[in-house]
Amino acid sequence: MAVARTPLIAGNWKMNLDHLQAVAFVQKLHWTLKDAAHEDGSVEVAVFPPFTDIRTVQTLIDADKIPFAFGAQDISTHDSGAYTGEVSGAFLSKLSCRYVIIGHSERREYHHETDEIVAAKVRAALKHGIVPVICVGETLEQREESGPTAVSVAQLRVALEAVSADDDFVVAYEPVWAIGTGQVASPEQAQEVCAALREVISEALGADVAAKTRVLYGGSVKSGNIASFMREPDVDGALVGGASLVVDEFASIIRFQKHVGV
């Protein structure tokens, strides 16, 4: 990974941990990293709790000065109005969410989010000063049909229509076949797609933006494989699902710099 990009280790809790469990988790993660003398700032840590936890997590992080960022797992394309069940970027911004995950494959699959909806959500996030974490990735069938990069590249191209060169954003490559399956991509596979995605950023927004934008890998990341991904030049961090729910495991992923030789 190039020196200029601070690695981002992000925990997507999905629909796990209520607001009380969230307090215990964030406190314990903070203490675990402190006990291990983890150097704050060497890696950016972010958690993505369910909506109902965000206010609680915000208050805790604020009160205890915990050096973690936090974000939401989704955002409405609308600002306000008659959209039952939706959550506005204006509200997330009021809660000081730094990030929002957009276009996760679970939302694309179960909630029929198209590339156009993803782009509209990216636009909504940026409008409210929230950094979108734009997720892309192919199914196994798509990989066999059109190769490793085509689907992710096409998805990102549409999402980037909502982005301009001075916007901050993060891209996460999450091959659908590697999510929650234990069937992890190889570091070479992750690198190949992450490099192609950086090229898309460069074409759309210029080389400088491509050089500073973080591209993450996600899909069955664990403490035992994180270091191998982080050795790749175009992988700038990880979007972690299951392993982000286990304090010791997530702390160990955050501390990947200590076990790069593993």
Does position 218 interact with ligand 13P (CB under 6 A)? The reply is: yes
Does position 89 interact with ligand 13P (CB under 6 A)? The reply is: no
Give the contact letters, 173-212, x = binds to ligand 13P (CB under 6 A), - = no.
-x----xx--------------------------------
- Judged by CB, which is closer to ligand 13P: 121, or 205? 121
Exactly one of 50, 89, 175, 219 binds ligand 13P (CB under 6 A); that residue is 219
Cα end-to-end distance, the chain, whole Å: 17
Residue nearest to ligand 13P (CB): 241
Those residues whose C-beta lies under 8 Å from the C-beta of residue 207, and which sit 6 or more positions away, are none
- In the complex, minimum distance from the CB of residue 64 to ligand 13P, in angstroms, rounded to a whole number: 26
Based on the residue annotation, tell me whether 203 is a catalytic residue of this protein.
no
Classify strands 131-136 and 170-173 as parallel, antiparallel or unpaired: parallel
Q: Which residue has the tokens 């469990």?
A: 21
Does position 49 interact with ligand 13P (CB under 6 A)? The reply is: no
- In the complex, minimum distance from the CB of residue 165 to ligand 13P, in angstroms, rounded to a whole number: 27
Does position 7 interact with ligand 13P (CB under 6 A)? The reply is: no
Based on the residue annotation, tell me whether 174 is a catalytic residue of this protein.
yes
Q: Give residues in contact with ligand 13P (CB under 6 A).
A: 12, 104, 174, 179-180, 218-221, 239-243
User: Catalytic positions, please?
Assistant: 104, 174
